[in-house]
Homo-oligomer: A and B are copies of this chain.
Amino acid sequence: MDDVRPGSVGTTASLCLRLGQTLFSAGSLLFMSVGVAFYSYTAFCFLVTVMGLLIPWSATLAMVDIYSIFSGSPLRLPGVLLIVVLGDMALAVLSLAAACSSAGVVDLLVHIDSSYCPPKYCGRYQLSAAMAFLSWVLTTVSSLINLWHLASW
């Protein structure tokens, strides 16, 4: 542990970020998909798809972090870090796009007519979009920290 890079892959801070991403994206997926007719709206289908990509990505990297913490050896391969940065960036753009389009659609459904969006369902759509937004924030933070460490390698 001679050259620990705070927040980079294989550290406790990175593990916290990854667990937060997994938690928020799983919450967003569950609020959007369980018991709600999300497949009627393109934006909601896009959100479910993106969250379905983000959950395994974050969970896998969380496991890598746990392995690195317990084995006491942080990741030292620039190639792997580059893949992590590119994946994080792509998923950050996609999750921001999904969160914003869902938020726009929910806002329209609330104002256009209550028959399209009963209050019980609308609250779940809003919670789902908010959680997708939070997972975007955490993914962007992870991506920027790893990019910084990659640039200073």
Instruction: Give the B-binding residues of A (Cβ under 8 A).
Output: 41-43, 93, 96-98, 100-105, 107-109, 111-112, 116, 151
Contact: A104 with B100, CB < 8 Å? yes
Chain B residues contacting A104 (CB-CB under 8 Å) are 42-43, 100-102, 104-105
User: Of B42, B97, B116, which one neighbours A107 at CB under 8 angstroms?
Assistant: B42
Question: Beyond the given A100-B100, A112-B112, could you list 8 further A-B residue pairs with CB under 8 A, ordered by the A residue number?
Answer: A41-B108, A42-B107, A43-B107, A96-B97, A100-B101, A105-B105, A108-B108, A112-B116
A107 CA to B42 CA, complexed, in Å: 7
Oligomeric state, in copies: 2
Q: Are B151 and A108 in contact, CB atoms less than 8 angstroms apart?
A: no
Q: How far is the CB of A137 from chain B (nearest CB, A)?
A: 11
Q: How far is the CA of A107 from the CA of B43 in the complex (A)?
A: 8
A122 nearest CB across to chain B (Å): 14
**Cα distance A42–B109 in the bound complex, in angstroms:** 11
**7 cross-chain pairs, A with B, having the tightest CB-CB distances, nearest first:** A101-B104, A43-B104, A97-B100, A100-B100, A100-B101, A104-B104, A104-B105
Q: A100 and B96 in contact (CB under 8 A), knowing A112-B116, A116-B112, A151-B151?
A: yes
Residue of B nearest to A109 (CB): B108
Q: Collect the chain B residues with CB atoms within 8 Å of residue A109's CB.
A: 108
Q: Which of B93, B96, B97, B108 contacts A105 (CB 8 A)?
A: B108
Cβ–Cβ < 8 Å partners of A41 in chain B? 108
Q: How far is the CA of A109 from the CA of B100 in the complex (A)?
A: 16
